[in-house]
Structure 1
């Protein structure tokens, strides 16, 4: 099968348009169309349904697109390994983690990594969905549970716990919180029961809601929970890795917290020798050690 035609097919399938694919490939629309027709003739099948709004893959086209998508990801991985220099760290590194961890813990620390490796390009993908590392949806992941896939290298970075926090201004004007039952007199700010979150966080939220707080604000990620808590809206259910950088937050009912949530760094086995991955891994490990030291000092 002609690799050049497959490359053009993949671009058209991704763009859903001959014109847009041609722009990305620096080819005319007619040249792209000829290549697609030639590929369809060689396979003796129709790959696209054509209509006024663009192109839609046929069932046979979907099968071929899945194959070219997999090929592209493996080619990207091979190219990344080839580009890794023995002496330097450069090129793009795709990192994925949760919205809260990426926004509040990782991103503020990346300046130190860039100072060390100015030619490194980080593509930070923040979402609650777990991306498929072996299929090259990302190079490195930081996850709030141990990855289950066997072909990943994984390292536990730290354990976190989720507790109750409120701003000093809120606590100054709100009824005192001395027992768990006092939560009923307050507004609780937490992720909703249907939000994507770790089981430990969901269990704590359900325990709080069972006491029927006076008011409730649910937000689908911890970044929002933090912002609402900082804005004096109530008692927030927040992971402890966040609170170090926000000294105006006060721990409420320290004995009430979730079980430990492990934080893992993971990447595909095929990137074991990657200089970029190694640089990122070492940077994160150093920052975790520094984070633990600051937490111990604050507790002393």
Structure 2
């Protein structure tokens, strides 16, 4: 019996048609014309000597033979993906790509500005640095590493605790000109308060009379962007709740003499596969250093008011 050599491209086209049940839809996904897709399916059917689809007015339906081919092609696709994942573990030292995901805030404001240092130290690593509006699903393949504010519970997701974000109130000299700086949370009443959407639901934890406080405070601006919040505040727009580290990023901001309102822990999460890769271990170690108490005071467990940090640092010497 003469052996038939299958065309991988035609099997790939078959898989998309079988999934979408439409030659036209498959053509759009593949970037090919409908006649080209139809021709490749016809050639595959001729090669196999059987019909793989029944054509209908609504599209195409798999035949019994087609369902068997679909099952086999799925197995082939899974095996091909396994090859990619397995071989990528045998990486060249310090080279290859990494996919990082973080949310608006510490990833985009603190870590992003330091990325050129990592690139200089590890020129062979290509970094895909994404900012998302939700935490990445590492188990689902969203990213290789991520910064998260919830400690992962899945056994196949690893993590290291990076530190604590200490949220407090900031404003500018321009805003306070002609105004009295608030000395307590209730002194915020009458001021223009700027708020991130994510923080507005946390006010209840700031004070035992938080419900009344929330009603009395005027939120002149609410936003889902940390960049917008910082820029409006830094340009004299009001008083904003932000992590203590922003005072290092923007000299226009001044920290009010108010207590910390919320400490939030955060973690770097990653998969076991990334830990096995040299480039993964390098990025993990580098990221941990960017948040270490030796390198920066802002992420240590104990809150130190920015106005007192110089004195605190002197005592620690």
Task: Give the TM-score of the pair, scaled to structure 2.
Answer: 0.71
Measure how far apart 1:117 and its partner are.
1.2
1:106 equivalent in structure 2: 111
Distance (whole Å) between structure 2 residues aligned to residue 47 and residue 299 of structure 1: 79
Distance (whole Å) between structure 1 residues aligned to residue 133 and residue 182 of structure 2: 32
Q: Check conservation: 2:247, 2:255, Cα contact below 8 A.
A: no
Distance (whole Å) between structure 2 residues aligned to residue 125 and residue 90 of structure 1: 19
Q: Check conservation: 2:104, 2:225, Cα contact below 8 A.
A: yes
Distance (whole Å) between structure 2 residues aligned to residue 163 and residue 35 of structure 1: 63
2:216 equivalent in structure 1: 212
Q: Aligned match of 1:170 in 148, 167, 175?
A: 175
2:139 equivalent in structure 1: 134
Measure how far apart 1:88 and its partner are.
2.1
Q: Check conservation: 1:180, 1:253, Cα contact below 8 A.
A: no
2:234 counterpart of 1:230: yes
1:281 equivalent in structure 2: 284
Measure how far apart 1:49 and its partner are.
6.0
Measure how far apart 1:98 and its partner are.
0.5
2:194 counterpart of 1:185: no
Measure how far apart 1:42 and its partner are.
6.5
Partner SS, residue 161 of structure 2: strand
**1:231-286: per-residue Cα shift (whole Å, max 9, x none)?**
1100111122333222332222431411x211111112233311221111011011
User: Which structure has the larger Rg over C-alpha atoms?
Assistant: 2
2:23 counterpart of 1:18: no
Measure how far apart 1:186 and its partner are.
0.6
Measure how far apart 1:10 and its partner are.
6.4
1:56 equivalent in structure 2: none
- Over 3 Å counting, the alpha-carbon distance change for 1:292 and 1:174 in structure 2 is farther
2:295 counterpart of 1:262: no
Measure how far apart 1:291 and its partner are.
7.0
**1:170-197: per-residue Cα shift (whole Å, max 9, x none)?**
12343321122110121111123xx5x6
Q: Aligned match of 2:274 in 250, 264, 271?
A: 271
Count of aligned residue pairs for this structure pair: 275
2:239 counterpart of 1:239: no
- For structure 2, the residue ranges without an aligned partner over 5 or more in a row are 1-5, 60-66, 299-303, 313-317
Q: Aligned match of 2:102 in 92, 97, 115?
A: 97
1:156 equivalent in structure 2: 161
Task: Give the TM-score of the pair, scaled to structure 1.
Answer: 0.74
Q: Check conservation: 1:143, 1:265, Cα contact below 8 A.
A: yes
Partner SS, residue 159 of structure 1: strand
Partner SS, residue 255 of structure 1: coil
- Over 3 Å counting, the alpha-carbon distance change for 1:155 and 1:215 in structure 2 is closer
- Over 3 Å counting, the alpha-carbon distance change for 1:139 and 1:9 in structure 2 is farther
Partner SS, residue 115 of structure 2: helix
- Over 3 Å counting, the alpha-carbon distance change for 1:46 and 1:162 in structure 2 is farther
Alignment of 1:115-126 (within 5 A): 115-126=120-131
Partner SS, residue 221 of structure 2: strand
Partner SS, residue 177 of structure 2: helix
